[in-house]
Structure 1
């Protein structure tokens, strides 16, 4: 797309489902987003429209003037969308029923995105969105299963971090039991996970990647 979306198109983009990217708008608005490569129309009924990777990037940029935070996305951070906790955040320990509902809703939305975008409709393995948002996807799988992210000091709970490998994240934990529990959760949700030892620090960690089959 060579020019920014119009104000009306931006409102449609900003209102997309935080995880699945499902869009709601008029036929004209949705068709315009498709033409500009910001959305695609799903080939299977009910033929809903979803953000493309370019559409997700557009939503994550802050327009001028800066947009007002959506009160329905309390844990949105500076992007205005739901974000799974990867560990180390200042509010990593904050929880309660509100956070639990948001995490549950995000996980269900991700399962629906798997169903809609995996070629066979399977929900047992990660989809394309997860492969381009590895850290957030792995963290959501862990948080949705009840694991706790580490606090700012990183002394307890899990921490998910990017790695130099193109399709792998590192999961750190305070002890071997935490790592084993995280590995079991990730494998149940469609990831491959194996324990490794850092050659410099001798610390144990998981290397996890999305399963393809």
Structure 2
């Protein structure tokens, strides 16, 4: 079994940019993370260091926490940027500060695409997005100005938590997310945004309640 990172290395990993995985540390710390396969040095100037998928898994691991089973409820904010997937109990402020955060996160994601896609393409999702489908799709929607659903209802209408905005959720398909909205027009607008952001989106009907939803997956070519 691979040795866990040292406390100092873990601090560097935990401080990585939450979207791009860009690292800051001493040359020795960064070299040690590269040697362990937890980071890589970008070949183009300024030769910054970034987390590998293994490094991202360590950063996101919470050994003491209860396993995040396949429940359908988004987690509350943790002090770092998190795209709104819809239905958050404590949605972040939607004012100018939030708009700046969202724009910064989207620009950071485009930069990550440029640096990690083999051809430097920014119009096609990168590896991070393919392993973080729900937040990646939600970020694309929020950055384009779409409004996420508010807190889930607890009374009448609780079966329509998306009644006031989009809601992004995982699906049994490993490479796709479901996007729901209050009406067909919203779904069409969300589909157009996702396709512009490099995703494939198609409309489907839920056989349980006959509501329409999008099935979206990152485009590969």
**Taking structure 2 as the reference length, what is the TM-score of the superposition?**
0.86
1:199 to partner: Cα distance: 1.7
Q: 1:164 aligns with which of 160, 172, 187?
A: 172
**Residue 149 (structure 1) aligns with:** 148
Count the aligned residue pairs: 202
SS at match of 1:77: coil
Aligned Cα root-mean-square deviation (Å): 1.9
Answering whether residue 55 of structure 2 is matched by residue 55 of structure 1, we say yes
Distance 2:108 2:40 in 1: 18
Q: Tell me the distance in 1 between the aligned counterparts of 2:46 and 2:3.
A: 30
Displacement of 1:3 in angstroms is: 2.6
Structure 1 position 37, deviation (Å): 1.6
Structure 1 residue 8, shift from structure 2 partner: 1.7
Cα deviation, residue 93, structure 1: 6.8
Tell me, which stretches of 5 or more residues in structure 1 are unaligned?
A: 65-74
Note the C-alpha offset of 1:36. Answer: 1.6
8 Å CA contact retained: 1:89, 1:151: yes
The answer for the alignment partner of 2:217 in structure 1 is 209
Deviates more, 1:92-101 or 1:26-35: 92-101
SS at the partner of 2:46? coil
Q: Distance in 2 between matches of 1:15 and 1:209?
A: 29
Relative to 1, partners in 2 of residues 1:62 and 1:162: Cα closer, same or farther, differing over 3 Å? Answer: closer
1:199 aligns with: 207
Contact 2:77 2:90 in 1 (8 A): no
| Matches of 1:18 and 1:101, distance apart in 2 | 15
